[in-house]
Amino acid sequence: MSRLYAKNLKIAYGERDIVKNLDISIPDGQITTIIGPNGCGKSTVLKTLSRILNPKSGVVYLDGKGISKEPTKQIAQKMAILPQSPDSPEGLTVGELVSYGRFPYQKGLGKLARRDFEVIDWALEVTGNYEFKDRAVDALSGGQRQRVWIAMALAQETDIILLDEPTTYLDLSHQLEVLELLYQLNRDQKRTIVMVIHDLNHAARFAHHMVAMKDGAILKEGSAEEVMTRQVLRNVFSIDAEIGVDPRTRKPVCLTYDLIKSVQLVENLA
Amino acid sequence: MMNARQIKKIRMTTFVAILLLIAMFVISVATGFASLSPAELFRTLIGQGTPRENLILFEFRLPRIVVAIFTGMGLAVSGAILQSITKNPLSDPGILGINAGAGLMVVVYIMFFTVETSSSLYILPLFALAGGMGTAAVIYIMSYIKGEGVEPTRLVLVGVGLAAALYGAALTLSTRLDMEDYSFMANWMAGRIWGDDWTFVLSLLPWILILIPLTLYKSNVLNMLSFHENVSIGVGVNTGRERIVLLMIAVSLASASVAVSGGIAFVGLLAPHIARSLVGPRHQSFLPVAALIGSILLLTADTVGRVILDPNGIPAGIIVTIIGAPYFMYLLAKK
């Protein structure tokens, strides 16, 4: 079953078509990762699913209703989106930013009720931000800041969370920290998580469902084992990859790779 | 989500700002031509004043002070809105050309009506409003890029260009005015608070009384609009509609204010900045502080300008510019 799916999406920036005719369906209660080369339209699709972009044609459905027809605040109570490396106003504190996640539930002046405080505290706690709540967001390191933004998305109390490259610009340990947090949220609370991610091994390690895109279309989707294959990676990224099994997680990993161009060059020479 | 220390700081800052405004009010009444000492002022306020004191306070001084306070508030809140919805810290109704558009219509007004007839004074803010709205519409259309929305830098550049053109047009038109009207016009452009009887206060009152509380009510939306669209749409803000509504509020506040106060720049830039640096960027906290600082700034500028060059004084707009221009340069350099 899918609460979130889209049919016949055509998405364009101005005159340039990015996505021509795409169907996508997000499995409930699972982690979905979207991979693909730069410019393949993966972020565009994520933005369209979250109504930041309007498709030229086609419809995104959430709980059976087209999202462009539904009140945007109601959608925000079901689905949160964390854009790629967002900025925050100078001097805004962690606690304030996370409290903004309660916007979909507030009316008028936006005085926080007891329930709001409970959710905000929980979101700060679970993301390990509680002790920083009085600090300015713009004074934090990249990894901490990303965790704060995730906390804000959590404060929105949505079953579905979409994330656009949540690990970009983070170092190795911070990348894993963010991904494990998302993994726990999915495991413990059955939240549906969709993320666009560049690192293939991370994508395979944390995904229940993987989507590989190229030139605005889905080339292959399925389990990590089905998508992380030599053939799929050759078609998607034009690379010749060596796929192995991670001795710790038993998930497929890309051990090494070459560009197809250079492989042919080597073969030609031999 | 604020801790006790933050809340205390916001209350203290607001309280101190109110005290400063009251102090400035007392100083303003106590200085210059036809002044009242603090003791006389107090006596007059509680209804024990002599007829002369009553006349000075209620007929000469108070209307002008109230106009300065209201326009300071209007410009400050207008600037705060513009800075948030354009996500550009340099936005200000003066810089965006809204004052110039309102100014052009003020010239047109003077060409058809005389300034002295008080019955038409209520119409003047409407003229200014038409000018301000027209300018805002042109700026909005010219800086709107399909699919991307309004790009902040473009908005400011278009505004600056348009402001220059509109001031040029106003100057050209004003050469056709007779001596008296021309001098009024020149003073208006320099930002001399000319509205100094109760009629002006009344013509300004509805705008301030309705639009400033409405803006406060929209604090939550303004908080979200100061982020990138990706964020504000995600939490459920109807960004297109809210931005236009708030833009119209900002333009109306600025136009109604400058119609009475003259073309005063920089208050809308300075006041929100100072307020944010004192109490942080949450609109619920900084909008009231910004409004208070705006009125303190303008009342101070008007008082100083009035005192240092008798008998006519230096227009408040020029005094504000002397403080505001270096601050603007500082902000530019910091960016």
A238 located within any domain: no
Using the CB atoms, write b or e for A132-154: b if 16+ within 10 Å.
Answer: bbeebbeebeebbbbbbbbbbbb
pLDDT tens digits, B124-174 = 778 888 998 899 888 888 887 765 666 767 877 888 899 899 988 888 888
Q: State how far the Cα of B127 lies from the Cα of B125, in Å rounded to an integer.
A: 5
Predicted confidence (pLDDT) at residue B66 exceeds the cutoff of 60: yes
| Interchain CB contact of B331 with A (< 8 Å) | no
CATH classification at residue A215: 3.40.50.300
Mean of pLDDT over chain A: 92
Task: Please spell the DSSP secondary structure of A148-179, one letter per residue.
Answer: HHHHHHHHT--SEEEEESTTTT--HHHHHHHH
Greatest Cα pair distance, chain A, in angstroms, is 73
Given this model, what pLDDT does residue B59 score? 86
pLDDT tens digits, B91-135 = 888 878 888 898 888 888 888 776 665 556 677 778 888 998 899
Q: Is A29 left (phi over 0), alpha (psi -120 to 50) or beta?
A: left
Report the candidate in A16, A85, A10, A83 with the shortest Cα–Cα distance to residue A46. Answer: A83
Q: From the CA atom positions of chain B, what is the Rg in Å?
A: 20
List the single residue in B230, B236, B281 with the smallest CB-CB distance to A76: B236
**Could you give the ipTM of this predicted complex?**
0.90
Mean of pLDDT over chain B: 87
The C-alpha of A110 sits at a distance from chain B's nearest C-alpha, in angstroms, of 6
pLDDT tens digits, B25-50 = 999 999 877 889 999 999 999 988 89
- Closest chain B residue to A73 measured between Cα atoms? B236
List the single residue in B1, B147, B276 with the smallest CB-CB distance to A13: B147
Predicted confidence (pLDDT) at residue A56 exceeds the cutoff of 90: yes
Given this model, what pLDDT does residue B148 score? 61
Q: State how far the Cα of A237 lies from the Cα of B48, in Å rounded to an integer.
A: 87
For chain B, the structural domain boundaries read: 4-334
Predicted confidence (pLDDT) at residue B78 exceeds the cutoff of 60: yes
Report the candidate in B298, B305, B299, B304 with the shortest Cα–Cα distance to residue B268. Answer: B298
Are B123 and B109 spatial neighbours (Cβ–Cβ below 8 Å)? yes
Predicted confidence (pLDDT) at residue A184 exceeds the cutoff of 80: yes
The C-alpha of B238 sits at a distance from chain A's nearest C-alpha, in angstroms, of 7
Q: Does the domain made of B4-334 have the CATH classification 3.40.50.920?
A: no
pLDDT tens digits, B270-295 = 999 999 999 999 999 999 999 999 99
Predicted confidence (pLDDT) at residue B268 exceeds the cutoff of 80: yes
Tokens 């016949």 locate to A8
B110: its two tokens: 């003077």
A235 located within any domain: no
Query: Do A109 and B217 lie within an 8 Å CB cutoff?
Result: yes
Residue B150: φ, ψ to 5°: -95, 120
Task: Identify each DSSP E strand in B92-151 by its residue range.
Answer: 144-145, 149-150
List the single residue in A72, A95, A106 with the smallest CB-CB distance to B1: A95
Are B246 and B218 spatial neighbours (Cβ–Cβ below 8 Å)? yes
Which residues of A are less than 8 Å from B2 in CB distance? Answer: 93, 95-96
The C-alpha of B331 sits at a distance from chain A's nearest C-alpha, in angstroms, of 13
Predicted confidence (pLDDT) at residue B260 exceeds the cutoff of 70: yes
A258 located within any domain: no
| Burial class of residue B324, CB neighbours in 10 A (0-12, 13-18, 19+) | buried
The C-alpha of B5 sits at a distance from chain A's nearest C-alpha, in angstroms, of 10
Q: What angle do CA B109, B138, B230 make, to 5 degrees?
A: 140
Query: Do A133 and B3 lie within an 8 Å CB cutoff?
Result: yes
Residue to mutate among A93, A116, A119, with most B CBs inside 10 A, is A93
A203 located within any domain: yes
Query: Do B284 and A72 lie within an 8 Å CB cutoff?
Result: no
| Rounded percentage of chain B residues whose pLDDT exceeds 90 | 40
Grade residue A152 by pLDDT with cuts at 50, 70 and 90: very high
The residue-averaged pLDDT of A164-189 equals: 91
Q: State how far the Cα of B175 lies from the Cα of B182, in Å rounded to an integer.
A: 7
A256 located within any domain: no
Range of the domain at A139: 4-223
Given this model, what pLDDT does residue B335 score? 60
Residue type, A102: R
Report the predicted TM-score, pTM, of the whole model to 2 decimal places. Answer: 0.90
The residue-averaged pLDDT of B305-326 equals: 83
Query: Do B147 and A14 lie within an 8 Å CB cutoff?
Result: yes
- Closest chain B residue to A109 measured between Cα atoms? B217
Query: How many of the other CB atoms lie within 10 Å of CB of A190?
Result: 11
